[in-house]
Amino acid sequence: MNIHEYQGKAILKSFGVRVQEGIVADTAEQAVEAAKKLKVDYNSDWVVIKAQIHAGGRGKGGGVKLAKNLEEVREKAGHIIGMQLITPQTGPEGKLVSKVLVAQDVYYPGESDTKEFYVSVLLDRSRGRNIIMYSTEGGMDIEEVAEHTPHLIFKEEIDPKVGLQGFQARKIAFNLGLSGDAFKDMTKFIASLYKAYEATDSSMFEINPVLKTSDNKILAVDAKVNLDDNGLFRHPDFAAMRDTSEEDPTEVEASKSNLNYVKLDGNVGCMVNGAGLAMATMDIIKLAGGEPANFLDVGGTANAETVKAGFNIILSDPNVKAILINIFGGIVRCDRVAQGVIDAYKEIGNIPVPIIVRLQGTNAVEAKKLIDESGLKVYSAILLKEAAALVTKVLENK
Ligand code: GDP
Ligand code: MN
């Protein structure tokens, strides 16, 4: 689950990571109030207005603006709120901005004495360990750095048995070229950041830039946080951070029914029990000459309700020309799934695309019989090969 910058910063702060302070606002008026409050706390008129969307590259897209007085706050916040912000990460349609973070300007005074770094904590799946990635080349173009000068990006691997060691935090601060107070502050920053990452069961914390201020403090100016969905049950307080308006609406609908759904661009919808079988089914669709329209794992306990929810979600995609249901009956009995398909079909009514059902495993033969005798426009198969041939056939008939 992705969260907004302001939420990520709140988490960081609660673990003692110093952050660029800010107050979130929904309207230009609230932004002005936020700026007044920040002025009392930090005694500076300058604030930065930052669009809150689940995508990076906001600076480049015009979603991060400096305001030097309250008039500018009103004007710039008013401009950013409601805009369709296009950044290198949003795709050409952009994302609607409904909130801004009004934050203290931490580059002032003395911008020339500041330095931007890149620091992230993430899971290196090939190593099976958490790593801290860092670079002196922080700021807006880390992707460019990774592509053209990858030797400027360092990695520090954490041994899960002993956790982050003091010498590792010092090594990072040293490699970032720091000394004196900034060096000390960076070691503290790294230690707290790592603690926050571990304690929240996150899969990524990316802080770009981490700033060394002109008075040698180290703080997080940005926060891109991805919380591991599989760990969310341990953090019920994070549920409120979910912003479904940032997510694909069909995926939100699917997660309500406990379905594991990812939308793709193809023409054959599929509904499968088990992630591995779902992957194999997508391969079969390609072999049959189609393109998968989605990944959909209905889980091990598919019943009429889940089948119906799955149908509705697949059918909401106008590109779908055929649906392939591929269920292996292990714990779940094929005849019950077949009945579920028939019931869901009747309930939804006129399904405009051909459906191919392949049921294998416990009671597969009974299931095929049920479908064949239902009188509905559903093709049944037992072997995957037969199912693939049926997909090819219905696509050719279109
Ligand atoms: P991103 O573009 O989505 O990654 O958003 P960031 O939060 O990283 O902000 C983009 C850029 O805005 C940063 O790299 C900074 O150069 C700049 N920026 C952010 N906060 C401030 C600030 O307080 N003062 C000034 N002058 N620039 C800032
Ligand atoms: Mn950034």
What phi, psi does 120 have (nearest 5°)? -140, 155
Mean pLDDT value of segment 276-304: 89
Check pLDDT > 80 for residue 302: no
Partners of 250 in the β-ladder: none
Task: Find all residues with CB under 8 Å of 89, minimum gap 6, and list them.
Answer: 55, 56, 57
Residues 260 and 380 in one domain: yes
Ligand 1 surroundings by CB, under 6 angstroms: 20, 48, 50, 56-59, 64, 66, 105-107, 139-140, 208-209, 221-222
CATH number at residue 201: 3.30.470.20
Residues 180 and 156 in one domain: yes
Kindly report, residue by residue over 183-215, the tens digit of the pLDDT.
999 999 999 999 999 999 999 999 999 999 999
Residue 140 CA to ligand 1 centre (angstroms): 8
What pLDDT does residue 337 have? 84
Which one of 118, 222, 224 would you pick to mutate in the ligand 1 pocket, going by the greatest count of ligand atoms within 8 A of its CB? 222
Task: Find all residues with CB under 8 Å of 118, minimum gap 6, and list them.
Answer: 133, 134, 135, 137, 138, 139, 142, 145, 153, 207, 208, 209, 210
Residue 150 CA to ligand 1 centre (angstroms): 23
Q: Record the tokens describing residue 258, joined without a space.
A: 């406990």
- Residue 211 CA: which ligand is closest? 1
Which one of 5, 38, 48, 112 would you pick to mutate in the ligand 1 pocket, going by the greatest count of ligand atoms within 8 A of its CB? 48
Kindly report, residue by residue over 126-156, the tens digit of the pLDDT.
999 999 999 999 987 888 999 999 999 999 9
Point out the ligand 1 atom lying closest to the alpha carbon of residue 61: 2
Please identify every residue annotated as catalytic: 118, 206
Nearest CA to ligand 1 atom 10: 59
Residues 156 and 8 in one domain: yes
Instruction: Please state the domain count of the chain.
Output: 3
What pLDDT does residue 57 have? 93
Integer Rg of the chain from CA: 26
Give the CA dihedral 49, 54, 60, 63, nearest 10 degrees: -30
Q: Between residues 305 and 18, which one has the greater pLDDT?
A: 18
Nearest CA to ligand 1 atom 6: 222
- Residue 95 CA: which ligand is closest? 1
Point out the ligand 1 atom lying closest to the alpha carbon of residue 5: 7
Point out the ligand 1 atom lying closest to the alpha carbon of residue 56: 3
Residues 279 and 351 in one domain: yes
- Provide, rounded to the nearest whole percent, the portion of the chain with pLDDT above 90: 69
Residue 135 CA to ligand 2 centre (angstroms): 13
Residue 64 CA to ligand 1 centre (angstroms): 6
Nearest CA to ligand 1 atom 15: 139
Residues 162 and 283 in one domain: no
- Residue 106 CA: which ligand is closest? 1
Residues 262 and 368 in one domain: yes
The residue among 198, 27, 30, 212 whose CA lies nearest residue 107 is: 212
| Domain boundary, last residue among 203, 223, 247 | 247
Q: Record the tokens describing residue 255, joined without a space.
A: 């997660």
Q: Collapsing DSSP states into helix, strand and coil, what is residue 73?
A: helix
Residues 390 and 279 in one domain: yes
| Domain boundary, last residue among 70, 105, 140 | 105
Domain with 331, as residue range(s), is: 248-396
Residues 365 and 222 in one domain: no
Point out the ligand 1 atom lying closest to the alpha carbon of residue 55: 3
Residue 52 CA to ligand 1 centre (angstroms): 13
Check pLDDT > 90 for residue 338: no
Task: Using alpha carbons, list the distances in angstroms from residue 97 to 26, 80, 83, 89, 90.
Answer: 9, 7, 6, 14, 12
Q: For residues 346 and 328, is the Cβ–Cβ distance under 8 A?
A: no
Nearest CA to ligand 1 atom 9: 59
Q: Identify the H or E element spanning 61.
A: helix 58-61
Point out the ligand 1 atom lying closest to the alpha carbon of residue 139: 14
CATH number at residue 339: 3.40.50.261
Candidate from 82-86, 171-175, 353-357 with smallest mean pLDDT: 353-357
Output the average pLDDT for the chain.
92
Of the pLDDT bands very low, low, confident and very high (cuts 50, 70, 90), residue 345 is confident
| Domain boundary, last residue among 187, 220, 247 | 247
Residues 44 and 29 in one domain: yes
Residues 88 and 230 in one domain: no
Candidate from 131-140, 254-263, 276-285, 318-327 with smallest mean pLDDT: 254-263
Residues 76 and 173 in one domain: no
Nearest CA to ligand 1 atom 27: 107
What pLDDT does residue 398 have? 61
Residue 69 CA to ligand 1 centre (angstroms): 18
Residues 155 and 254 in one domain: no
